[in-house]
Amino acid sequence: MKVFRIMQAATGAIFWIGSALDALAALDAMACAAGFGDRTRIPSHLRAGGLHVEELEA
């Protein structure tokens, strides 16, 4: 597994850091941890300004 960081691009706020197979799986894991079920249910106000998914070096 890889380690990813998900940030709100406009503000730089870090929403999640954790392990996932790929960037889409990381978005799903972040959404699930926040209680949204999956990435398709992330509210628009959190998506505002864009979400930046970055793979971190181990």
53 Cα distance to chain centroid = 6
Both structure tokens of 5? 């960081």
pLDDT of residue 54: 97
pLDDT in tens, 1-58: 999 999 999 999 999 999 999 999 999 999 999 999 999 999 999 888 899 999 998 6
pTM of the entire structure?
0.89
